[in-house]
């Protein structure tokens, strides 16, 4: 009997999902929620893991049916746990890169030896002494040359005085010229001596650095080959029984697999299910522990599979399963409400779920396309997230567009949002300042990054609290992607995600964030215009 299969008691058919859920955007099935609770209880019982799990880790569960028709679940963790990829209770990895006798580990040790050798050479006493010696010789050269120049200038001044004497002869002139020529020859000889000294030391340093550079090139080639070897050994299959390695899957898309590809929970679960004759029914991934410093993850919350590492693999592995349509790519019959219109501008109330601008999926209709159907030269001036509703400004011709863009650039356009936060906020008002940048491995998710993030500032004010929900007004002073959403959800911000924010909180019927107010100067009349559009929540 499979030790990784965890049974449910008394599950009837009408409790089972009709289709496998889309792994990128989903409401977790009740049985997946039940399974995740059981996994969390198991994690709580592993007291020796508590310290590591404080830092947080992504886990996954998959609802499956075994060959005997029994319903249960499989569990997995992303990456390593306790520095291991094989632990009781959790399915094993797709490829065991921890096997000490495998080529991967042997080559990894060799690369580690090269790293140590590089570090040893870079910090060797001999190299440091040579660099210091070169620095000393350069200073010595500068001092000797300077002193020689001063001596030559003095000797020249003496010769110049001699030439002014009444009884200065042709023989005297020849003698002084000879002295001058000798001084120049001596100066040149001195420079050559010191130049050769520097060249000798530089050559010795260069020989050391060439050895280091050759080792770095060897490391680069070995690391690249090892990554390719690794991804060629991550062989996965789909429900049709077709098999491909990760390198093939990404290459067919013109991509290179990012580091860590294949180590996330969802691919591990699907791989084990197919390999062992389980029928996958539903999947869910959840975060356990504290939120990372950069990303926003909350303990016990469910999250969609990442796009950079997992999406290409899962798109292949899910082939042959009856999978729900991705709600983020679903075509809805949306149409924005016109709030104001004149010859130059158009202001609309964008519904939640409608794209502001055309995305990579050509089947999803956007406000931009809707506007261009009405006015060929129309351009949206700013954007709202797909799930954010509210006021969106559109220019109907180029000059108005340029004018409004300049106003946004100069921050003279003022916007106000209203949101429902998941929690009771005690602070009446304040400001959140957290720099933001894109999470390149999980677009469009944003991260807080003190080093590389762009400055982002948001004012907030509490309006009311009702049970465990807080209504808050936000005024972003900068315009970063997902700014309000991250500033609300991040532990160093308000630490309360917006209700329905599946990226940074919990999925709901919609994202409860609405752009309710905007003020700007009319691009033609320069009249200050203010519009308010209250939310429907």
pTM score, two decimals?
0.81
pLDDT at 27 over 70: yes
Q: Are residues 443 and 367 both part of a single domain? A: yes
Residue 15 confidence class, pLDDT cut points 50, 70, 90: confident
Q: In sequence order, what DSSP letters do the residues of 244-258 get, joined into one string?
A: EEHHHHHHTTT--PP
Please give the order of strands across the beta sheet that includes 279-288: 6-7, 71-77, 57-65, 279-288, 302-303
pLDDT of residue 4: 95
**Contact between 364 and 322 (Cβ < 8 Å):** no
Nearest Cα to 413, choosing from 454, 379, 380, 382?
382
Query: 490-505: b or e for each residue (b if 16 or more CB lie within 10 Å)?
Result: beebbebbbbbbbbbb
Q: Hey, how many other C-beta atoms are within 10 angstroms of the C-beta on 32?
A: 25
pLDDT of residue 113: 96
Write the DSSP symbol of residue 306: P
Q: In angstroms, rounded to a whole number, what is the distance separating the alpha carbons of residues 276 and 520? A: 62
How far separated are the first and last CA of the chain, in Å rounded? 51
pLDDT at 106 over 60: yes
**Contact between 524 and 344 (Cβ < 8 Å):** yes
Q: Hey, how many other C-beta atoms are within 10 angstroms of the C-beta on 372?
A: 16
Residue 332 confidence class, pLDDT cut points 50, 70, 90: low
Specify the number of domains making up the chain: 3
Q: Are residues 158 and 182 both part of a single domain? A: yes
Q: Averaged over 370-399, what is the pLDDT?
A: 95
In the listed set 229, 257, 287, which residue is the last one of a domain according to the structure? Answer: 229
Q: Are residues 130 and 222 both part of a single domain? A: yes
pLDDT of residue 35: 97
Q: In angstroms, rounded to a whole number, what is the distance separating the alpha carbons of residues 144 and 322? A: 84
Q: Which of 2-16, 114-128, 394-408 has the lowest mean pLDDT?
A: 2-16
Q: Are residues 252 and 362 both part of a single domain? A: no
**Contact between 260 and 309 (Cβ < 8 Å):** yes
In the listed set 186, 213, 229, which residue is the last one of a domain according to the structure? Answer: 229
pLDDT of residue 104: 87
pLDDT at 491 over 90: yes
Question: Could you tell me if residue 537 is inside a domain?
Answer: no
Question: Could you tell me if residue 463 is inside a domain?
Answer: yes
User: Which residues partner with 281 through β-bridges?
Assistant: none
Q: Cα 382 vs. chain centroid, distance in angstroms? A: 23
Question: Could you tell me if residue 257 is inside a domain?
Answer: yes
Q: Averaged over 332-339, what is the pLDDT?
A: 85
For residue 386, the SS3 value is coil
Question: Could you tell me if residue 44 is inside a domain?
Answer: yes
Burial class (CB in 10 A: 0-12, 13-18, 19+), 378: buried
pLDDT of residue 101: 82
Highest mean pLDDT among 1-5, 15-19, 531-535: 531-535
Q: Are residues 306 and 353 both part of a single domain? A: no
pLDDT at 248 over 90: yes
Question: Could you tell me if residue 279 is inside a domain?
Answer: yes
Q: In sequence order, what DSSP letters do the residues of 161-194 get, joined into one string?
A: HHHTSTT--HHHHHHHHHHHHHHHHHHHHHHHHH
Residues in the chain: 537
**Contact between 16 and 72 (Cβ < 8 Å):** no
Q: In angstroms, rounded to a whole number, what is the distance separating the alpha carbons of residues 33 and 536? A: 30
The beta strands (E) that lie in 315-440 are given as 337-341, 345-350, 379-380, 389-395, 414-422, 429-433, 436-438
Count the helix, strand and coil residues of the chain and give each as a percent rounded to the nearest 5.
Answer: 35, 20, 40
What digits encode the pLDDT tens for the residues 257-279?
998 999 999 999 999 999 999 99
Q: Are residues 371 and 305 both part of a single domain? A: no
Question: Could you tell me if residue 104 is inside a domain?
Answer: no
Q: In angstroms, rounded to a whole number, what is the distance separating the alpha carbons of residues 400 and 388? A: 25
Residue 329 confidence class, pLDDT cut points 50, 70, 90: confident
Tokens 């004012």 — which residue?
459
Q: In angstroms, rounded to a whole number, what is the distance separating the alpha carbons of residues 57 and 295? A: 12
What digits encode the pLDDT tens for the residues 172-224?
889 899 999 999 999 999 999 999 999 999 999 999 999 999 999 999 999 99
Q: Are residues 428 and 293 both part of a single domain? A: no
Q: Are residues 404 and 513 both part of a single domain? A: yes
Question: Could you tell me if residue 114 is inside a domain?
Answer: no
For residue 456, the SS3 value is coil
User: Which residues partner with 238 through β-bridges?
Assistant: none
In the listed set 201, 229, 257, which residue is the last one of a domain according to the structure? Answer: 229
Mean pLDDT taken over the chain: 93
Taking every pair of Cα atoms in the chain, the longest distance, rounded to a whole number of angstroms, is 128
What digits encode the pLDDT tens for the residues 477-490?
999 999 999 999 99
- Rg of the chain's alpha carbons, rounded to an integer? 34
Q: Which of 43-47, 379-383, 396-400, 437-441 has the lowest mean pLDDT?
A: 437-441
Q: Are residues 455 and 341 both part of a single domain? A: yes
Nearest Cα to 269, choosing from 232, 321, 231, 230?
321
Structure tokens at 67: 């060959």
**Contact between 486 and 494 (Cβ < 8 Å):** no
What digits encode the pLDDT tens for the residues 352-373?
999 999 877 666 789 999 999 9
Question: Could you tell me if residue 1 is inside a domain?
Answer: no
Q: Are residues 32 and 68 both part of a single domain? A: yes
**Contact between 343 and 396 (Cβ < 8 Å):** yes
* Active site positions, annotated: 385
* CATH number of domain containing 481: 3.30.2350.10
**Which residues does 522 contact at the CB level (< 8 Å), separation at least 6?**
344, 345, 528, 529
Omega prior to 444 cis, within 30 of 0:
yes
Q: Are residues 500 and 360 both part of a single domain? A: yes
What digits encode the pLDDT tens for the residues 119-175?
999 999 999 999 999 999 999 999 999 999 999 999 999 998 888 887 878 888 898
Q: Are residues 343 and 275 both part of a single domain? A: no
Q: In angstroms, rounded to a whole number, what is the distance separating the alpha carbons of residues 205 and 137? A: 14
pLDDT of residue 443: 87
Provide the residue range defining the domain that includes 299.
6-95+234-317
Q: How far is CA 123 from CA 109, 131, 471, in A?
A: 21, 11, 57
């Amino acid at each position: 009997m499979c030790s990784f299969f965890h049974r449910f008691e008394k599950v009837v058919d009408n409790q089972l999902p009709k289709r496998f859920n889309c792994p990128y955007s989903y409401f977790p099935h009740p049985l997946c929620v039940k399974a995740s609770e059981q996994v969390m209880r198991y994690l709580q019982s592993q007291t020796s893991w508590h310290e590591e799990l404080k830092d947080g880790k992504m886990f996954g569960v998959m609802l499956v049916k075994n060959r005997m028709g029994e319903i249960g679940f499989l569990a997995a963790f992303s990456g390593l746990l306790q520095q291991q990829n094989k632990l009781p209770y959790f399915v094993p990895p797709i490829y065991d890169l921890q096997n000490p006798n495998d080529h991967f580990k042997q080559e990894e040790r060799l690369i580690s030896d090269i790293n140590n050798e590089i570090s040893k050479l870079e910090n060797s006493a001999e190299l440091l002494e040579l660099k210091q010696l070169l620095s000393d010789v350069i200073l010595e050269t500068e001092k000797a040359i300077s002193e020689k120049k001063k001596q030559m200038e003095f000797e020249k001044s003496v010769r110049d005085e001699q030439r002014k004497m009444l009884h200065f002869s042709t023989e005297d002139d020849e003698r002084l010229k000879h002295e001058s020529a000798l001084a120049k020859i001596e100066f040149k000889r001195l420079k050559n001596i010191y130049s050769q000294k520097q060249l000798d030391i530089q050559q010795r340093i260069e020989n050391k650095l060439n050895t280091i550079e050759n080792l770095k090139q060897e490391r680069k080639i070995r690391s690249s080959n090892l990554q390719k070897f690794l991804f060629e050994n991550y062989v996965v299959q789909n429900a049709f029984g077709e098999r491909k390695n990760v390198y093939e899957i990404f290459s067919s898309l013109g991509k290179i697999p990012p580091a860590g590809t294949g180590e996330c929970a969802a691919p591990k679960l699907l791989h084990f299910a197919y390999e062992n004759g389980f029928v996958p029914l539903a999947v869910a991934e959840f975060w356990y522990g504290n939120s990372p410093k950069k990303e926003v993850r909350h303990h016990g919350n469910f999250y969609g599979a990442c796009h950079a590492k997992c999406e290409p693999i899962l798109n292949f592995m899910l082939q042959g399963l009856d999978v729900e349509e991705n709600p983020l790519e679903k075509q809805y019959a949306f149409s924005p409400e016109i709030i104001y219109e004149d010859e130059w501008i158009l202001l609309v109330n964008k519904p939640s779920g409608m794209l502001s601008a055309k995305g990579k999926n050509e089947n999803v209709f956007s406000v931009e396309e809707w506007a261009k159907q009405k006015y060929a030269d129309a351009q949206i001036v700013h954007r709202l997230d797909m799930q954010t509703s509210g006021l969106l400004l559109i220019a109907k011709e180029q000059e108005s567009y340029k004018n409004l863009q300049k106003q946004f650039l100069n921050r003279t356009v003022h916007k106000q949002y209203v949101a429902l936060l998941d929690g009771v906020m005690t602070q009446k008002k304040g400001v959140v300042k957290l720099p933001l940048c894109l999470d390149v491995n999980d677009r469009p998710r944003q991260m807080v990054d003190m080093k590389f993030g762009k400055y982002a500032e948001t004012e907030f004010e509490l309006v009311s609290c009702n049970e465990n929900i807080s209504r808050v007004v936000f005024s972003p002073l900068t315009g970063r992607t997902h700014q309000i959403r991250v500033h609300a959800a991040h532990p160093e911000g308000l630490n309360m995600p917006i209700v329905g924010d599946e990226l940074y909180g919990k999925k709901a019927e919609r994202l409860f964030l609405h752009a309710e107010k905007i003020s700007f100067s009319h691009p033609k009349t320069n009249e200050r215009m203010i519009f308010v559009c209250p939310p429907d929540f």
